[in-house]
Each structure stands twice: as C-alpha cells, then as structure tokens.
C-alpha cells in the first residue's frame, strides 16, 4: 500500500496522545465474554484469501465459504495462511442481488509494535489456534510477549463485531503501537487460460464506472461505492457504505483504496486490554444513519451483544439437534445444514419487508435476497425446527408479492406466486429495477406442507400456540387463493388436474396489441419465410443474427399453429437449435429444469455446439426404437448424419415426436378464442404436480378445521377432502404404467397432436403414461405425498432399488449416490446433466421418505447413509452443494445450497434412529 508521507507523519505524531486512552485499566466495559468453544468446530471450511472481486470456482460460486449470520449482508473468512493472522479481512459483501469479495485476508489486519524496543511483534510468527464454531470465528495467537485472542460474531442484521483481547505475557509493562491497514481488491477476476497461465482483468477495466473510496471516520473508516446497475455482477445504490468502527480512539489516514489507522496502548505486566471492532454493510443513507446509532450502543456495552449472539446459537443447536441416536458424523452434517440455512438468511431490505432465505449466498445467481417459492417451502420446513421466525418470514416473502385481482400487470393471475422476487421490484411495478425478478412462471405447491410443519413445530417444540394460530390464520386465505389459481389458470381441460405451463409474458408471447401469441426462435438452413413450408409466413420473421457455423439463419416463429407446424416437420426444415421460452418457463415451473419428461434430450445441435458426437442421445434413441441410421460424418467443425435420405430422416422425425412438447392457450370462457388469455399449459399432466395437489388438498382440509372463526373456511373441509380423493384415484388409475411398474406424466394429446383422452375404470384419463421419455424421480412423487396404493408403491420401490436404474450407491460401491434425476437407463441420462443425471437432494429426500413411508425403511436408511458417506465433503468440511454426481459423489452446482441443506437436515432429524 502507498500512503502520502504527510498523512503518515500526522499519524505517527499523534499516536502518543492516545496512549492514556487505551490501557489495561481502561477496557470498554467490565463485563466478560466467553471465548467461543463448541463440539462442532470447523464444520465448514471458512478459510480463504480472495484475489478478486469475482473469485469464482468452476461453477461460478465464490471460491471461499465466508461466515455470515443473523440475516446480515456481509461475511468474513478465516485467514488462509500466516500472512492473514490478526484479521478477519477476507470480506464478502452482499449487494442487492449479488455477492462479491470486497477485500483479501490482510484487510484491517492488526499490527503490534513494541515502542520501548522498537521491535515489531509479528503475529505471522505466532503459535496459532484458528477455528470456526457454528456462530463465531476465532483466532488465538501467541508470541513470546503477547497473546492475542480475536473472535467475531454477528450482533445485528447489519453488523459483525470482533472482540480483541491482548494479554501481556511478560513481567514488564508493554508500551505498544497498534495499527491496522488494508486495501480493497483491485482485480475483477482471475481465470486460468488455455496456455496454462492466468488471465486477469482489473475492476477498473471491467467496471470502470465502479468507484470505491475509503475515508476516515471517528475511530474508523467508511467505504463509499458508486451506483451500479445492469451488469449482472454488482448492484448497489450510490449511498451504500461499508463501515469499520472501533471502540478505542484511533487516528486514520486514507487514500483511494487504502487506509491505515494507528493508536497507542499501555498494558501492565500479565494484564490484558480488550477492545472491539464493528463491521457494517449498509445499503443506503437511511441504513447508515440507523446502524451508526446502533453501533454506538453496541460499543458501549459490547459483551452483552456478544453473549446474546452466543445464546442465539445455543438455542438453535438445542432445538435443532434432537436425534440422540445419530452418530457424531451425522450430527456434524445436521449442524452444517443448520449453519448453511442460517447463513443464507437475509434480513429485510429494499422492497422485501421481512427476512427471507436465499438459495445460496455464495452462488452468483442465487444471492442477494432473491427468493423462490420452491426453495422456500423446503427451507421453511427444515428451519421450522430451529429458527421458526425466519421460516415464517421466508414464506411471507413469497406471499408478499402474491398477485391480487387489481394487479396492474396481470390481473388475470389472481392468487399467483411469482417465481423470483428480489431486493427491488422491476420498473414495470414501480420499483427501482431488477436484473433477476421473474414472473413468467410459478413453482409447484408444497406451500401448505411447509405451513403445516411450521404450525406444528411452533406448538409442539416451542410452546408458541398463539403464534401458531396467528400464522395459520394469516396464511390460510393466501394458500387457498394460490390453490384456486392452479385450477383457474393451469387446468386446460377442466378436469381438476392442473398442468405446468407459462404465464403471459413477453419472454415467450407477443404483446397484447400483437395478439399475445406464443413464439419460438429457431436456427434453420431453410428459408422458413417460403410459403411452401406450410407456415403462415405473416408470422415468421427472419432475425438479424449472423448465420451460425452450420450456415443456419435464425427465425422467430409466431402463433400456436406455426409452432405445431414446426414440430410436425422439424427434420424437413433442417432445423438446428430451438429456443422455446414457454417450454423453458414450464420446466422452471416444475422445479426440475430441463428434465427428460419435458422433451429434453441432446440431439445433433448439441453435438455441434459441444464438438462431442457422444452427445447425440436422440440419434441413439431413434436408432434403437425406429431403426434410424445415426452414423455421423464430420465436415470441418460440423457434424451431420451420413444418411440424409428422406426415408432415414422420417425415422428420426418419428423418434423426435416422442420428445416434443405441445402447448395450448388457457383462456376464460372455457378457452373460447374471445376469452381473456390466462397463460399457456403444456399439454401434459404431470404426476408430481398431481401428487403435490393431492397433498395441498389434504393439508388445506386440515387447516380449514384449525383456523379461527373469523377466517372464511365454510365448506372447505368437504371441498378439499373430495378433491384429494379424486386426485388420488386419478393418479392410480391414469398415471401408473403396468408394463414398467412406474408412475409417469401423461400426454393430453398424442405425438401428432390428436386428442388422446380415454375412459378407464369410470375415470376419464387425459391420455396414456408417457413411458417413452424414461423414468425419473417424479415417478415416486405419489409415494412421497401418500397418494400411491400399497400395491403400486411396492412395484415402484422395486424400480427405485434396481441398481441399473436408480440405486447408484449399490452399483457404484463406496462412491455412488442413489436417485439420479433420470434413471441410468433413461435415453436422456448422463451423470453430469443438471436435471437428467445429477442427484438433487430434494428428490433424494422424497425418494428415501417414500421408501420409509411404504415399508422399506431399512433401504431408506442404507441409501441415506450412503449419501452422507459418499457425497464429496459432506462429513468433512466441504460446503453442501446444489447437486452431486450419482456415479462418483462429486460435488456440482451451487455451494452452500439451501434446499440441499434443508433436506440434509431432514435426513439427520428423521432417519438414523
């Protein structure tokens, strides 16, 4: 770091005047705090030395797992090596929608100088005991002259507090100069390059508009930031600040991105002095004003705040660790899950008026206070048992933005829950704008499942009956409205079995003035504006994109009729990649993005984008089922089928139609063309959604009996009970395939778009089970939700325990994890594919719970044990991940992932007994 000499001179000349203020007889308060200890130390690796603002791993996670707690918006790391001793300087800063590193490990590092001898007391040479507990970071550094104890806790939802205790180990009084210095990170990222070196880009180069300035405050510093928006990495307002405030007088010089603070201290022989440092990450001037006042109160009585933080964690662990039969390793995993969920808790900020829980504070696209319904149901279900207030607030955050009848954008969606809500609303909703807000789809409804778990936990585990009653009274009308929305807006054929689909949204339909028609974008070597191809060419647009490597141009195909024409003739049109916004929204709505049942299977376009001929899953499927010759010929960088004859391509088209997804418009007035457009349904009834709706009806019927007299629920018990009974009969009549012993989605039209409804056992089924797209975890959703018959459950469980299908921990001994997101013999399976191979712990938990519920408890415990033993880092100090490789147990996806942690906690709590 470089300081102006005049500033250094002022510091040095002023230190002497502070000596009398800082002494062993002049501590901040005379109350004591306890050095953090725990049976659960170093559960998660908290060490790290960030090199760049975006210091990412291969999955775009922040590389290090900062400790963050109490809903705060920043975190700290332990030092990675001796250079970082004396600081918790690796600071992760959570801005409105993203998290980044602000500084490396030496930021605000404590330096000690013995003024009598002129010698530096180098903490890098100290004997060190450095560790983390669930609620604290700790450094104990011992030299010949001093012992320095530092520990950090979060004491408000914006401020962390470090207690520093320096003990004089000598028989002489010590006259010390204490100093702290630091520098903000200057690199935006560092990435390995193909030549074996590292490519670096500075923040000034990558984000020239991002100005950061350190300046001195009373006994500390503040860091100011310029306004940053619309760059998909940093988002904050121009009055955001990060503040460091000490409990002892200091003199500070600051210049640009660097600072140095100095004070003097006198410590009598074998005596100690204690002081405190507060770190606050603040979004705006209003927060600066209010938190500055709080910090002054904290520094006047710091030990009480430290003790309250300790007591908070004591309560979490006392309530959360209830499985006395769990092994120490299993208990450590339970603690890790609790730590992760609490670490992803963000306190109220921006337009979100209460706390929430995000998927992952360290994952690029899941941080800030971004909130999804599907994640929330699982997070709240788990947190109900150790942090129920945050569990309730997480649910409230989702419902805060529930669409009302007078909504300015989508009044037709009354009761709808938005897919992602963020720190600020988009400008279209009167907010300051957002980069990640999404309302083009919702998520499956396990909301009532989560609310009932919170209700029961409040009563039975926390003795908070009044709070439980108030919560269920608050939530019940909103849950009913959401339930009704599914039946009103996503039930195309009106049979009370809703489909997944897509809301009215410009991402996949034209404007209202243009008819609100569905559209897709496709690459094709043919001139699709030629009427001979059968399109309504008035609704086909050639887009300005440059031709791709295969010589294809890009087109926008508008209208449902044109979309179906495309599906029926795709091979004849020489079509490459297709971007189908409605299909994307539909898969997002299911919570199982790009699953095989939504027609996702790699084809020739994937081969050409990856350069890997093994990616031609559709070609292999067509070869096996239709006799298609899938031999490939490579011409330069482009692969093509060797036999391009019409006869051979017709076989490929026949195979492709097994995987195509059709849609329909949902409108008022029984889908009359003149009715108001409500959205789009995939013409496919999904077995998991039907099963969730069965549960939803069951729980709503229970709630209708529990709500207070002033809450409208007349006739609801009968209505929801009857609907649950109908859905259960429908699932077991229409969605089970006798030939393969498994439950599936069912088509509402056949592969050529023709109605496929038929009657069976007095029930009109919308279509046949969709066996062609293989087996996946949605097939055991009727078991998890209790809708399966015992006979069918036994047959499904035999499939689940088949080592060539789902029981990967049996097939891949000592390394595999069972229940991949497609069976291992599914045509679209590959161990690394996001939702067609990797193990997701929600579907894993649904699987072992299904086994347990229907009589295979021993297998459930075995498979759960295999997860804990084989998942990379699970019983060690690795972060809980978004998903895992079923064949190797390798971590994949987002780190510190909430719903994985929620289900891991549920496994700890409910199994191993």
- Active site (catalytic) residues: 593, 882
In order of 98, 355, 718, 888, the CA distances from 722 in angstroms are 45, 36, 6, 45
Token reading at 639: 């692969």
Q: Are 750 and 494 in contact (CB under 8 A)?
A: no
Nearest partner of 723 among 502, 500, 498, judged by Cα: 498
The values of phi and psi at residue 306, to 5°, are -60, -45
Burial of residue 470 (number of CB atoms within 10 Å: 0-12, 13-18, 19+): middle
Nearest partner of 874 among 905, 848, 847, judged by Cα: 905
Which helix or strand (DSSP H or E) is residue 474 part of? Answer: helix 465-489
Q: Are 835 and 595 in contact (CB under 8 A)?
A: yes
Tell me the three state secondary structure of residue 702.
helix
Nearest partner of 442 among 496, 391, 498, judged by Cα: 498
Q: Are 33 and 306 in contact (CB under 8 A)?
A: yes
Measure the CA–CA gap between 267 and 282, rounded to whole angstroms. Answer: 35
Measure the CA–CA gap between 777 and 821, rounded to whole angstroms. Answer: 6
Nearest partner of 210 among 191, 194, 190, 230, judged by Cα: 230
Tracing tokens 């000490």 back to the chain, one arrives at: 246
Cα Rg of the chain (Å, integer)? 30
Burial of residue 746 (number of CB atoms within 10 Å: 0-12, 13-18, 19+): buried
In order of 232, 813, 906, the CA distances from 797 in angstroms are 44, 20, 21
Long-range contact set of residues 473-476: C-beta below 8 Å, sequence gap at least 24: 473/707, 473/708, 473/710, 473/711, 475/395, 475/399, 475/451, 476/700, 476/703, 476/704, 476/707, 476/711, 476/713
Residues 6+ apart with CB under 8 A from 513: none
Tell me the three state secondary structure of residue 147.
strand
Measure the CA–CA gap between 839 and 900, rounded to whole angstroms. Answer: 10
Q: Are 895 and 881 in contact (CB under 8 A)?
A: yes
Nearest partner of 168 among 262, 270, 92, judged by Cα: 270
Token reading at 611: 């350069």
Nearest partner of 638 among 726, 550, 557, 739, judged by Cα: 550
The CA-based dihedral angle spanning residues 80, 893, 340, 812, taken in that order and rounded to the nearest 10 degrees:
-100
The values of phi and psi at residue 300, to 5°, are -80, -20
């Amino acid at each position: 770091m470089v300081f102006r000499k005049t500033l250094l001179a002022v510091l040095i000349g002023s230190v002497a005047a502070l000596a009398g203020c800082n002494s062993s007889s002049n501590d901040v308060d005379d109350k004591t705090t306890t050095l953090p200890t725990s049976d659960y130390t170093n559960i998660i690796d908290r060490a790290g030395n960030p090199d760049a603002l975006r210091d990412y791993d291969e999955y775009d996670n922040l590389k290090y797992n900062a400790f963050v707690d109490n809903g705060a918006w920043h975190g700290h790391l332990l030092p990675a090596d001796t250079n970082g001793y004396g600081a918790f300087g690796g600071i992760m800063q959570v801005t409105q929608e993203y998290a980044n590193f602000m500084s490396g490990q030496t930021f605000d590092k404590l330096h000690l100088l013995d003024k009598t001898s002129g010698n530096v007391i180098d903490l890098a040479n100290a004997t060190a005991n450095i560790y983390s507990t669930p609620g604290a970071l700790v450094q104990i550094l011992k030299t010949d002259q001093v012992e320095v104890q530092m520990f950090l806790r979060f004491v408000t939802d914006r401020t962390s507090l470090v207690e520093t205790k320096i003990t004089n180990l000598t028989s002489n009084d010590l006259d010390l100069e204490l100093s702290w210095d630091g520098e903000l990170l200057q690199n935006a990222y560092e990435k390995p390059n193909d030549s074996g070196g590292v490519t670096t880009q500075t923040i000034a180069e990558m984000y020239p508009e991002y100005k950061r300035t350190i300046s001195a405050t009373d006994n500390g510093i503040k860091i100011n930031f310029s306004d940053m928006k619309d760059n998909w990495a940093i988002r904050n307002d121009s009055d955001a600040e990060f503040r460091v405030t000490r409990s002892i007088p200091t003199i500070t010089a600051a210049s640009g991105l660097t600072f140095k603070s100095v004070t003097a201290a006198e410590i009598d022989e074998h005596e100690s002095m204690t002081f405190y440092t507060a770190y606050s990450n603040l979004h705006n001037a209003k927060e600066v004003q209010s938190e500055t006042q709080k910090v002054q109160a904290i520094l006047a009585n710091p030990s009480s705040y430290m003790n309250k933080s300790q007591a908070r964690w004591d309560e979490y662990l006392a309530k959360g660790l209830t499985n006395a039969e769990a092994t120490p390793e299993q208990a450590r995993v339970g603690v890790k899950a609790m730590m992760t969920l609490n670490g992803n808790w963000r306190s109220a900020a921006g337009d979100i008026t209460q706390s929430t829980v995000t998927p992952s504070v360290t994952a690029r696209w899941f941080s800030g206070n971004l909130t999804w319904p599907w994640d929330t149901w699982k997070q709240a279900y788990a947190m109900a048992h150790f942090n129920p207030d945050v569990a309730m607030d997480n649910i409230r955050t989702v419902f805060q933005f529930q669409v009302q009848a007078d909504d300015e954008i989508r009044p037709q969606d009354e009761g709808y829950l938005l897919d992602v809500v963020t720190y600020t609303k988009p400008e279209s909703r009167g907010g300051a704008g957002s980069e990640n807000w999404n309302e083009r789809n919702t998520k499956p409804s396990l909301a009532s499942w989560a609310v009932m778990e919170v209700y029961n936990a409040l009563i039975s585990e926390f003795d908070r009956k009044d709070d439980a009653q108030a919560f269920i009274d608050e939530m019940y009308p909103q849950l009913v409205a959401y339930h009704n929305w599914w039946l009103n807006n996503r039930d195309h054929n009106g049979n009370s079995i809703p489909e997944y689909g897509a809301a009215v949204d410009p991402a996949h339909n034209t404007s209202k003035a243009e008819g609100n028609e569905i559209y897709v974008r496709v690459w094709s070597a043919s001139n699709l504006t030629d009427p001979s191809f059968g399109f309504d060419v008035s609704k086909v647009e050639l887009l300005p994109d440059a031709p791709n490597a295969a010589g294809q141009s890009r087109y926008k195909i508008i209208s449902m009729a044109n979309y179906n024409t495309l599906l029926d003739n795709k091979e004849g049109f020489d079509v490459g990649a297709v971007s189908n916004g409605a299909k994307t929204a539909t898969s997002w709505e299911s919570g199982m993005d790009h699953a095989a049942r939504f027609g996702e299977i790699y084809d020739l376009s994937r081969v050409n984008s990856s350069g890997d001929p093994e990616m031609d899953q559709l070609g292999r499927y067509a070869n096996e089922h239709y006799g298609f010759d899938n031999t490939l010929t490579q011409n330069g960088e482009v692969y093509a089928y060797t036999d391009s004859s019409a006869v051979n391509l017709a076989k490929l088209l026949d195979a492709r139609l097994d995987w195509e997804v059709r849609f329909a418009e949902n409108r008022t007035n029984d889908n009359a063309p003149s009715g108001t457009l409500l959205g789009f349904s995939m013409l496919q009834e999904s077995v998991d959604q039907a099963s969730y709706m069965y549960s939803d009806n069951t729980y709503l019927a229970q709630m209708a009996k529990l709500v207070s007299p002033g809450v409208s629920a007349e006739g609801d018990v009968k209505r929801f009970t009857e609907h649950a009974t109908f859905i259960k009969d429908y699932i077991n009549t229409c969605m089970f395939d006798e030939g393969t012993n498994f439950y599936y989605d069912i088509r509402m039209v056949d592969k050529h778009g023709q109605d496929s409804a038929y009657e069976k056992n007095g029930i009109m089924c919308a279509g046949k089970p969709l066996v062609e797209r293989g087996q996946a975890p949605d097939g055991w959703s009727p078991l998890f939700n209790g809708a399966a018959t015992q006979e069918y459950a036994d047959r499904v469980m035999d499939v689940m325990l088949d080592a060539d299908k789902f029981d990967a921990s049996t097939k891949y001994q000592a390394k595999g994890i069972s229940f991949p997101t497609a069976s291992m013999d599914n045509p679209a399976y590959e161990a690394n594919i996001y939702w067609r191979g990797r193990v997701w712990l929600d579907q894993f938990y649904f699987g072992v719970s299904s086994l347990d519920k229907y009589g295979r408890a021993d297998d459930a415990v075995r498979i759960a044990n295999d997860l804990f033993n084989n998942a990379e880092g699970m019983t060690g100090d690795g972060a809980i991940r978004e998903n895992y490789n079923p064949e190797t147990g390798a971590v994949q996806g987002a780190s510190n992932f909430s719903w994985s942690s929620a289900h891991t906690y549920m496994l700890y709590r409910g199994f191993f007994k």
